[in-house]
Chains A and B, each alone.
Chain A
Amino acid sequence: MKRLLSVIKVKGIQFIITTSFTLVTVLVMLFVGVMLYGKFAQTAEQNAYLHTQQILEQVKYNLDSYLNGMTQIFELVDDKIRRSKGLTADKLSEQLETIVETRKDIVSIAVFTRDGTLLATTPSKILRSNTRLTEQSWFQKAIEDPTNLSFSLPHIQNLFKGEYTWVVSMSREILLHGPDGEIPAVLLVDVNFKEIDELCQRVGLGKKGYVYIIDLVGNIVYHPQQQLIYAGLKNENRSLPLKHSYGSYVEETQDETRLITIKTIDQLGWKIIGVSYMDEIVTTKKEISRFIFWLLIFVIVIVLFVLHYLSAKISRPIKLLERSMERVEQGDFSESEPIRGSHEVEQLSLRFHLMVAKVRELMHQIIREQEAKRKSELEVLQAQINPHFLYNTLNSVVRMVGNGKNEDVITTITSLSKLFRISLSRGKNIITVREELEHVRHYLIIQKMRYKQKFEYEIVVEDEDEDEVLNCLTLKLLLQPIVENAIYHGIEHLADPGRIRILAAIIDGKVLLQVSDNGLGMSPDVLAQVKAGFYKSEEGTGVGIQNVQERIRLTFGEQYGLEIESEQEEGTVVRVWIPRQVAEERDRL
């Protein structure tokens, strides 16, 4: 698992882009999918309702028009019989035969007396025995309600010999012209049920749905599974349709939900009932949800690939950048090819390259500076063992010995020895202010000897706590070149006694070492030249102000260094500014 995660790089920009975008896409797709599904499912359901309604309307219309046609035929037959003189008239039977022949769905036309005696029939057939015709519903209805045409339920016509046929009987009382005036009779027109049966059978509501018809009291007129219902294998709940004349209802039984739609044929009061199965509507829903599911998968796959491509495109330059940074980190500062990618990455890469170039530059600079530092330190060291200085000093000592000034000799030699000790100071560059002052003091002692007390000097520490200043660190041999300058250029040619004042203090958190003299001073031109570092004195150690300035800056930075103030005939003040660092920190430098 860990290995897998490390391969994927959970925190990688590519992974983050891919996952977050996929997540967003999936969420959006889910949302859209759910919305679409809801809408589609609703529409599917509504369509099913509407569809059922329309089909039933069609069935109703067809049945209505069929029954109307039959009613018209009945009226036509009635009319013909009424107009003719008697039932036996040839013309009448001819006319009736024509009607029966033209309408194939008319099985027979018959006239009966009120007690059930057959008066006439077309086509002429023999009456069967045991017909119980007076007990049959069509006959009874005609007697009970003489004015209205009645339609029977479909039943087997058992009146005449021949086939047993399923018929719907239309019957009504009519008046016959008899010899004794008008006598009432029952007219029966049997219509083959086949037409209605086929009409209903053809109607399909989905794969399983069907249409059935019941009469006013719930008897089945037509039902595709009528026999199963009679056989007790099926059951049709007819209570709901009986209560309502039209509308749609959802009927739930223990294992299925059905949509019941009802329409009524006004003429007869028959109810057409459409039964559609909800699970078929649900099938549509399932199909939609399956479709949306696959769409989702499909979109996710596509999005994954597109994102993989995009994120790779975005993250690749960043990875390249990272790699080139890694190379830099490992110390390879060589130039590398700029990375192509998005604007930001290109900018980043550009900046990085600039930075690397800068670092490279700085490194070169540091190397150069270090070299310079070494060089200037070497120069200082060389200056220390400047044979000229040594020669002069030793000359002075010889002269003193000649003059018998033994004490002076001792002082001079002692100072010289201390001077060299501090100069060498075991090879360290950094020494305390105390040591530096000590060093310059010995230098001044020697010079004072040489110049026969031509000048006075004082070394002052200007602080409440002297040690604080004296323990600060400084570069070695900062003051000596300055003092040397002061003597050689300022005081040597002065007629009056010279005065050199060396001051050490802490000002504004910096250490100030100041050398002031009352010598000749410098003209502004010379001062400018000195400041610019051009001025080279012909005398002295050859280690000039410039060297001091350079060393301070190389060691401590640009903000430190020398300040020179000078006025002709007044003297010169040289201030050395170095950072305040205490002796304990010596090791760090």
Chain B
Amino acid sequence: MRTAAVKRLSVYGLVVLAAVTLFYSCSAPLTDGEVDKKKTVALIVRMKHGDYWRTVKLGAEMAAKEYERNLNFYAPDYEEDASRQMELVQQAIADGSETIVVAPSDDRVLREAIKLTRERAIPILVLDTVGKDSAVKSYIGTDNYDMGMKAFEKMVYLIEKKGQIALLGTDRVKTNAKRREQGVLDLLPRETQIELIANENVPLDKKQIGEWTRELIRKHPQVKGVIALDASTAIGVAEEMENCGLRDKVKIVAIDSPPEVLEYLQEGIISATIIQKPLSMGYLGVKYAVEASNGEAVPSLVDTGTKVIDRENMFWSENQKLLFPFVK
């Protein structure tokens, strides 16, 4: 009788103990550990350095904060290092990212990323590149064709609708530059008084760009404008023009806004530049990544927009933040 009572009591004690443990194990995680449980968005871009990609990252960070996600940023040290970027994509997947936002250096990277994300059934979004793969939830970037058109229109305005112009791209960023070039070429027939005297791709080398510019001036002394389809080319051309003392004679229209371009823009050597909105790109990239991972529908193609900047409007307050995103 006595031992039975003791037995019963100890059973009750055990049950109470179990309940207490249960209670604490239920209530304890309410406070801790939630920070670590945040899901992670991986952002893989083309290069670690440069204002453009830093701005993309800044925008992505804003969205990550707003949507309460961790942001893992991956980038190779040098632009167009596709094989390194491919490794980074694998790394991002291995890190257990909830979503991948990638600005692929080339098609191989994109194919690899699509393959890997499909295996894990995680959404993939692509930045700064246009494509049509149905596995990609959303393409977010600039309408490069539109950029080309805007550059041409600005040039037409600058040279007052007549004269010789040259179109200069590099062999670096193939698809985007091609789209920009197409934008220019498609509008060209409209302006009958404008003659395209050159349409060339030059390698990324200041010296070669300079040589090419000198050759152009020698062959076509009447040239009134140069449309450079990327920032480095524009900087090379602008430098050579300044050296040749042609700063007021030849108008240069550039793309993007690294500090040198802005310097030349204020100095008046470059007349205008067509800028993209990398901050919006980064922000929308992460925003739609989060929405896609929540199963919401996201637009398959997002144009983040472009803006024509010239000496007049470059210091307007709404443009200052676009051109100088970082407080230094």
Known contacts A130-B266, A130-B311; A156 and B318 CB within 8 A of each other: no
Would B327 and A166 count as touching, CB distance under 8 A?
Answer: yes
Cβ contact within 8 Å between A165 and B328:
yes
From B125-133, B146-154, B198-206, B275-283, give the one contacting chain A. Answer: B275-283
Contact of A163 with B328 at beta-carbon distance under 8 Å, contacts A129-B267, A290-B30 already known: yes
Q: For residue A302, which residues in chain B have a CB less than 8 angstroms away from its CB?
A: 16, 19
The answer to whether A294 and B26 have CB atoms under 8 Å apart is yes
Question: Does residue B244 face the partner (Cβ distance < 8 Å to A)?
Answer: no
With A166-B327, A207-B68, A290-B30 already in contact, the answer to whether A301 and B19 are too (CB < 8 A) is yes
Tier of interface size on chain A: 35 or more
B59 near A305 with CB under 8 A, answer no
Given A164-B324, A233-B284, also A309-B266 (CB < 8 A)? no
In the bound assembly, the distance between CA atoms of A225 and B59 in angstroms comes to: 9
How far apart are the CA atoms of A393 and B270 in the complex, in Å?
170
Note all chain A residues with C-beta closer than 8 A to B262.
164
Residue of A nearest to B280 (CB): A231
- Which residues of B are found within 8 Å of A192, using beta-carbon distances? 328
How far is it, in angstroms, between the C-alpha of A568 and the C-alpha of B291 when the chains are bound? Answer: 128
**B260-289, CB < 8 A from A:** 262, 266-268, 277, 279-280, 283-284
B62 touches A166 (CB 8 A): no
**B65 lies within 8 A of A208 (CB):** yes
Q: Is A230 an interface residue (CB 8 A)?
A: yes
Contacting residues, chain A, for B325 (C-beta < 8 A): 227
A294 contacts B23, C-beta separation under 8 Å: yes
Chain B hits for A297, CB < 8 A: 23
- Checking B23, B259, B268, B321 against A230 with a beta-carbon cut-off of 8 angstroms, the contacting residue is B321
Take A291-B30, A295-B23 as given contacts and tell me if A156 and B315 are in contact as well, using a CB distance cutoff of 8 Å. yes
Q: How far is the CA of A230 from the CA of B320 in the complex (A)?
A: 10
Judge whether A535 is part of the interface by a CB distance below 8 angstroms. no
Q: Is the CB of B12 closer than 8 A to any CB of chain A?
A: yes
- Select one of A194, A208, A306 contacting B328, CB under 8 A: A194
User: Which residues of chain A have C-beta atoms less than 8 A from B134's C-beta?
Assistant: none
Partner of B318, one of A166, A225, A230, A295: A230
Q: Are A305 and B315 in contact (CB under 8 A)?
A: no
Given contacts A132-B315, A158-B315, A294-B23, contact A224 B62 (CB under 8 A): yes
Contacts of B23 in A (CB 8 A): 294-295, 297-298
B30: chain A residues within 8 A (beta carbon) = 287, 290-291
Q: Is B322 an interface residue (CB 8 A)?
A: yes
Report yes or no: A166 in contact with B16, Cβ–Cβ below 8 A. no
The CB with the most chain A CB atoms within 10 A, among B30, B280, B321, is that of B321
Known: A231-B280, A298-B23. A208 touches B321 (CB 8 A): no
Contact A155 B315 (CB under 8 A): yes
Check A366 for interface membership: any CB of B closer than 8 A: no
> Which secondary structure characterizes the binding site on chain A?
mixed
Measured CB to CB, the closest approach of chain B to A584, in angstroms, equals 59
Q: Which residues of B contact A132 (CB under 8 A)?
A: 315
Q: Which residues of A contact B321 (CB under 8 A)?
A: 226-227, 230
Shortest Cβ distance from A126 into chain B, in angstroms? Answer: 12
Nearest to B1 among chain A residues (CB) is A340
Instruction: Point out which of A128, A165, A233, A301 has the most chain B C-beta atoms below 10 A from its C-beta.
Output: A233
Q: Does B22 contact A (CB under 8 A)?
A: yes
Residue of A nearest to B68 (CB): A207
Binary per-residue interface labels of chain B (8-24) against chain A in the complex, 1 for a CB within 8 Å, 0 otherwise: 10001001100110110
Inside 8 A of B280's CB, which chain A residues have their CB? 228, 231, 233
A153 close to B (CB within 8 Å): yes
Please provide the chain A residues from 197 to 226 with a CB less than 8 Å away from any CB of chain B in the complex.
Answer: 197, 207-208, 219, 224-226
How many angstroms from the CA of A156 to the CA of B262 in the assembled complex?
12
CB of B66 closer than 8 Å to a CB of A = yes
* B283 lies within 8 A of A233 (CB): yes
Query: Which residues of chain A are within 8 angstroms of B3 by Cβ–Cβ distance?
Result: none
Is B31 in contact with chain A by the CB < 8 A criterion?
yes
B27 contacts A by Cβ under 8 Å:
yes
Q: When the two chains form their complex, are residues B266 and A128 in contact, meaning their CB atoms are under 8 A apart?
A: yes
How long is the Cα–Cα vector from A192 to B58 in the complex, in angstroms? 20
Pick the contact of B268: A129, A226, A228 (CB < 8 A).
A129
The yes or no answer to B192 lying at the interface (CB within 8 A) is no
Residues A155 and B317 in contact, CB atoms below 8 Å apart: yes
How many Å lie between the Cα of A156 and that of B313 in the bound state? 13
Note all chain A residues with C-beta closer than 8 A to B315: 132, 155-156, 158
B317 engages A194 (CB within 8 Å): no
Across-interface contacts of A129 in B (CB, < 8 A): 266-268
CB distance from A192 to the nearest CB of B (A): 8
Chain A, residues 289-327, CB within 8 Å of chain B (1/0): the string is 011001101100110011001000000000000000000
Residues of A with C-beta under 8 A to B311: 130
Interchain CB contact under 8 A, B27 and A158: no
A455 sits at the interface (CB 8 A): no
A443 on interface, CB distance cutoff 8 Å: no
Measured CA separation A193–B23 after assembly (Å): 51
Chain B min CB distance to A157 (Å): 10
Q: What is the CA–CA distance of A192 and B305 in the complex, to the nearest angstrom?
A: 31
Identify the closest chain A residue to B279 (Cβ): A227
B327, A197: Cβ atoms closer than 8 Å: yes
CB A211 to nearest CB in B, in angstroms, measures 14
Nearest B residue (CB) for A290: B30
Q: Which residues of A contact B16 (CB under 8 A)?
A: 302, 305
Q: A154-B327, A192-B328, A305-B12 are in contact. List 18 more A-B contacts (CB 8 A).
A: A128-B267, A130-B268, A130-B311, A156-B315, A166-B324, A166-B327, A194-B327, A226-B321, A228-B59, A231-B279, A231-B305, A231-B322, A233-B280, A233-B283, A290-B30, A291-B30, A298-B23, A309-B12
Q: Nearest 3 pairs between A and B by C-beta?
A: A298-B23, A166-B327, A197-B327
Some 19 contacts from A to B, beta carbons below 8 A apart, are A129-B267, A129-B268, A130-B266, A130-B267, A156-B323, A163-B328, A194-B327, A224-B62, A227-B58, A227-B322, A231-B283, A231-B305, A233-B283, A290-B27, A294-B27, A297-B23, A298-B22, A305-B15, A309-B8
Partner-A contacts on B (CB < 8 A): 8, 12, 15-16, 19-20, 22-23, 26-27, 30-31, 58-59, 62, 65-66, 68, 259, 262, 266-268, 277, 279-280, 283-284, 305, 311, 315, 317-318, 320-325, 327-328
